[in-house]
Amino acid sequence: MVTVSAIHTASTQNNMAAVGSLVNSLTSLWRQQCARTCLPHLFVCISFTGSILKPTGLVPESYFSNSRNVLNLYFVKVSWGWTIILLLPFIFYSNLYNRSHTFMLRRLTSLLVATFIWYTCTGTFFYIEDITGSCYASDTMQVIHGEITTKAACRKAGFIWDGFDISGHSFILTYSSLVIVEEMVPMLHIPQSHRNICLDCLYIALNAIVAIWIWMFGCTSVYFHDIIDKVIGTLCGILGWYLTYVVWYPMPFSPGLPPQQKQHA
């Protein structure tokens, strides 16, 4: 007679097998070198293409053209929080395979560096918008309130601020995606026998976040901001990734790169 416990055990095993199968499919995708090396180029292409399409009206209004859509409110607006919450445990687990705790702790400092870059860039964008902008009574841009000198104060007063608004969305979605993809590399070389359900679920969640970021980056490109705002934001995201993972992290005195295949061998 089949017991409830046996049914539960079989169901759990099936679920774990499904998760493992999905992880294997995702790792097969990211093992394609072009999938990773072409990602910065993809963001630049999407930014330019979306910016060209935006004034033509060829892309119709949709649920995602409203900035209050669910993905924007609960994911993009707090995108760096999602990035840290998922990457912190993932780096902890994935960087411990065949490596020391010292190496893992050193690698975790890459999140401090990334957070510093995020904070500095977004703060700089806000500052530039403040010093280049003016506060207007309406969208006709005719009545100026010169006594209000910041975007926050202008909006609090119920007016409209117009300044050089570098796209923070373009920056953070580009930068976060590139950082996540770099940090997911160890999963390509960890044997399935050494993985656990927690690591597998974190990996799936990180892939889902990257998919959401790319989708919302496309929506930003076709629905919001001027082309120069989006291109500068995108290039800042790529530059932040390039200066760390390509230029600095391969050097000895750095957080180091995520474990590569030869390090797992």
Q: Do 95 and 107 touch, CB atoms closer than 8 A? A: yes
Q: Is 225 assigned a catalytic role?
A: yes
Find the catalytic residue in 8, 145, 225, 264: 225
Task: Give the separation between CA 112 and CA 120, rounded to whole angstroms.
Answer: 12
Q: Is 189 assigned a catalytic role?
A: no
Burial class (CB in 10 A: 0-12, 13-18, 19+), 92: middle
Task: Give the separation between CA 147 and CA 162, rounded to whole angstroms.
Answer: 15
Who's near 111: CB < 8 A, 6+ residues apart? 84, 87, 88, 91
Rg (CA), the chain: 22
Find the catalytic residue in 145, 169, 189, 264: 169
Q: Where are the alpha helices (DSSP H) in 54-100?
A: 70-74, 79-94
Q: Do 189 and 260 touch, CB atoms closer than 8 A? A: yes
Who's near 184: CB < 8 A, 6+ residues apart? 30, 90, 94, 203, 206, 207, 258
Task: Give the separation between CA 53 and CA 227, rounded to whole angstroms.
Answer: 10
Catalytic residues: 169, 225
